[in-house]
Amino acid sequence: MKMVRFDDLQLFVRTAALGSFSQAAREADLLPGQVAAAVARLERELDLRLFVRTTRSLRLTAEGALYLPYAQDVLTTLREGQARVQGDDAELHGTLQLSAPSDFGRNLLLPWLTAFRAAHPRLRLHLRLSDEVADVFRDQVDVAIRIGHFDDASYVALPLLEGNRRVLAASPEYLRRRGTPTRLDDLREHDCLVYQLGGRAYDRWSFELEGRRVVIPVRGPLVCDDADVVRRWAVAGEGITYKSWLDVRDDVLGGRLQVLLDGIGSHIPLQLVCPHRKQFSPAVRQLHAQLRQYLQPLLSAMPGHGGLPLSPATPLSDNGAPPL
């Protein structure tokens, strides 16, 4: 057997993940014919047929599906070997592909990444900002910043900010006009700013109260699939938002928003996620350490974290949503 080309192996793995020569070509800045030729070359080297091609679809053969995990392991081993040889103290270079939520990315992450890149000028950063949750197995990203809990055991994660919480907030102008809620059930009578993702409106807000989970259905005249727009509507006095403390912190400290109900909310940690621990390269590990250094001080003013105490005694009416 002839020597298998590293680039051909990479293109095979990405084509299998994306299910398309054209998508793999766009990702690699190549022509679809070049990707097809690379896969055909790999098939000749292996004397195997890796894909079944039709005019409308592209799928792995049984042999291709059997070979794919070995190809993935080879690529991972080569990357890990390079990282081990270079060590964490070596000058960072190559490309780091990172996915992050849009509002967190715009409002906090961008200047931190600028500083990180300035400290490592040979490193290229590809940033994907989206409210859609990145699939770190399918999407072309090395790591993803995620807010909240997830139970998929196939992921591994590095904690960034374990103590982060989601809090209720509204502008002083809105509260003057509509009054300040004093209990969770009051939210039913207020204009609540609803976030939508993947066609689903998140109009049932979940809270942690005295060790139990309480869900309150909410409604309002404004719905948006951009989480940062929801924050801006709150600042403009259009209603109450329920967002990560990190997203509203600057507005709260600047007096543009006010935290409600003494910070009652829910725990939503911030994490750096990837499919396998072997992908925690020196660049990922150093970025993780730098982001933790930036993030930890941001909790100091959060209600219940050295600032205002949480108020577990906030009353709930008997007809509130049952704990789940």
User: What pLDDT, in 10s, does the model give residues 135-181?
Assistant: 545 566 788 898 876 655 556 788 999 999 999 999 999 999 999 99
Range with the poorest average pLDDT among 1-15, 266-280, 295-309: 295-309
Give the domain extent around 254: 92-324
Q: Check residue 14 and give its pLDDT.
A: 85
The last residue of one of the domains, among 86, 116, 135, is 86
Enter the DSSP assignment of 261.
G
The last residue of one of the domains, among 57, 86, 115, is 86
Pull the structure tokens for residue 189. 């009578």
C-alpha distances out from residue 17 to 8, 262, 274, 297, Å: 14, 46, 16, 39
Q: Check residue 322 and give its pLDDT.
A: 27
- Domain assignment of residue 188, yes or no: yes
- Domain assignment of residue 64, yes or no: yes
Contact of 275 with 155, CB cutoff 8 Å: yes
pLDDT tens-digit profile of 10-47? 889 888 888 888 888 887 888 889 999 999 999 998 88
Range with the poorest average pLDDT among 84-88, 119-123, 247-251: 84-88
Beta pairing class for 200-202 and 51-53 = unpaired
Q: Do 44 and 125 belong to one domain? A: no
Question: Given a cut of 70, is residue 321 above it in pLDDT?
Answer: no
Contact of 257 with 248, CB cutoff 8 Å: yes
Q: Do 171 and 213 belong to one domain? A: yes
Question: Given a cut of 80, is residue 316 above it in pLDDT?
Answer: no
146: exposed, middle or buried (Cβ count in 10 Å: 0-12, 13-18, 19+): buried
Instruction: Name which of 131, 142, 84, 85 is nearest 105 in CA terms.
Output: 131
The SS3 call for residue 30 is coil
How much of the chain exceeds pLDDT 90, in percent? 43
CATH code of 30's domain: 1.10.10.10
Average pLDDT over residues 103-127: 91
The last residue of one of the domains, among 56, 71, 86, is 86
The residue behind tokens 């139990």 is 212
